[in-house]
Amino acid sequence: MKVWQKIFSIFVGICMLAVQLPVAAGEGGEPDISAQAAIIIEATTGRVIWEKNADDRLYPASMTKMMTGILALEQMNLRSDITMSSAAAHTESSPLGVLPGERIRTDELLQGMLLESDNGAAVALAEAMAGNVQAFAGIMNGKAAELGMKDTHFVNPNGLTAEGHYSTARDMAKLARYAMQNKEFREIVAQPQRVIRWEAPKNKVFHAHNTNKLLGKYEGMTGIKTGWTQAAGGCLAAGAKRNGVELIVVLMKAPTLDDRFKDAAKLLDYGFEHVKMTKALSRERVSRKVWVTNGQQASANLYPAQDINFPLINGEDKSHYTLTYNVPKVVDAPLKAGTPVGQIVVRYNGQDVEHVDMLAENVNSGFSVGSFLVKIFSWVLKLV
């Protein structure tokens, strides 16, 4: 065999070996994590920055309580009392220690559930909302469908291991992103600790500590929820915000309790290294005019509820983003200042990624010639 043929054969062999051997995790700047599944998303748009087995169906453990918590915030009177049932009180892993017949306010129970990951608290909230756990699971699954969680099915409100109770890192990230858009939820999960107080007996309290060990230790940490069972392994949904960039990471089936926090820190570091924000629209510089009927003026200005920034991943160009103003041509008075009237739709490569409300200035009801003419023209155009 000629020399050049030998060299070529060696080169081909090396190439084949390179194809056959998997690239070790961590090479090429990829995050080196122990969790079986994980995902990093940008919080304002939900765009995926990095993922690993993000569609594997796994046990979500107590990350389930994000769903129970957001439903409680949306559906319950937080100042109402809950009397602890025997079933709720005797649920395993309930560190608050609420006994059967004791009364505790809904917001206190909710805080204890999200901070201490109390399983009995989740059952009590479920019973208060739906009568029983099974009925509440139906509400959870309806909300999951609404959020586009296509690979999720809940059978209980706390995440204790059960057949048919599963989710994915991608779906849990959708849930975490949605929950963190709720101001009250966001405030609860950001607390390192809180004193939980009973209504009866009046003197009973519990000093709850957030199970998220990254709070106060990872720069910019905003929350959100831990999870652990023997079957699920270490689970964690965690959020952080730095320099205008907000990220959410979800990881599932880490080998140990501590591994989930180490993995989350690596994932957040990776995300912050690969995402930059660029300003697209300043709310002070943008307005849209709409015509007004039945008002003391013929037109009103609409303003964006907030600045709009585009997350750019891995140095991409912002030309992939577009803004569309989805606002009516005519509105009826009265309008209170700050009333949402239409939206700005943010799209990335043609896909909706964010909706920002357009807010009205104050418009009083009454009569003006201009407003009357608007009403006439609007009526005529509808007939055409």
Is pLDDT above 80 for 20?
Answer: no
Sequence-ordered list of residues with C-beta below 8 angstroms from that of 156, at least 6 positions apart, any chain: 64, 122, 123, 126, 133, 137, 162, 165
pTM: 0.85
Is pLDDT above 80 for 179?
Answer: yes
Distance CA 109, CA 93 (A): 15
Total structural domains within the chain: 2
Tokens 């054969």, residue?
9
pLDDT tens-digit series, residues 281-335: 888 888 899 999 999 999 999 999 999 999 999 989 899 999 999 999 999 999 9
Q: Are 294 and 375 in contact (CB under 8 A)?
A: yes
Has residue 10 been placed in a domain? no
Give the CATH number for residue 216.
Answer: 3.40.710.10
Has residue 6 been placed in a domain? no
Q: Are 138 and 144 in contact (CB under 8 A)?
A: no
Has residue 23 been placed in a domain? no
Tokens, residue 216? 């106060």
Q: pLDDT confidence of 375, banded at 50, 70, 90?
A: confident
Has residue 134 been placed in a domain? yes
- Claim to verify: residue 223 and residue 318 sit in the same structural domain: no
Q: How far is CA 131 from CA 17, 19, 266, 317, in A?
A: 60, 57, 42, 51
Is pLDDT above 70 for 102?
Answer: yes
Q: List active site positions.
A: 62, 65, 117
- Claim to verify: residue 219 and residue 337 sit in the same structural domain: no
Provide the residue range defining the domain that includes 175: 33-275
- Claim to verify: residue 348 and residue 267 sit in the same structural domain: no
Is pLDDT above 70 for 16?
Answer: no
Has residue 291 been placed in a domain? yes
- Provide the sign of the torsion angle of the four alpha carbons 177, 179, 181, 185, taken in this order: negative
Q: Which residue has the higher pLDDT, 378 or 136?
A: 136
Does 225 appear as a known binding residue? yes
Residue range 189-208: average pLDDT? 97
Q: What are the backbone angles phi and psi of residue 161, rounded to the nearest 5°?
A: -60, 125
- Claim to verify: residue 263 and residue 329 sit in the same structural domain: no
The per-residue pLDDT for 371 is 85
Sequence-ordered list of residues with C-beta below 8 angstroms from that of 243, at least 6 positions apart, any chain: 277
Q: pLDDT confidence of 383, banded at 50, 70, 90?
A: low
- Claim to verify: residue 316 and residue 269 sit in the same structural domain: no
- Claim to verify: residue 52 and residue 112 sit in the same structural domain: yes
Is pLDDT above 90 for 73?
Answer: yes
- Claim to verify: residue 95 and residue 189 sit in the same structural domain: yes
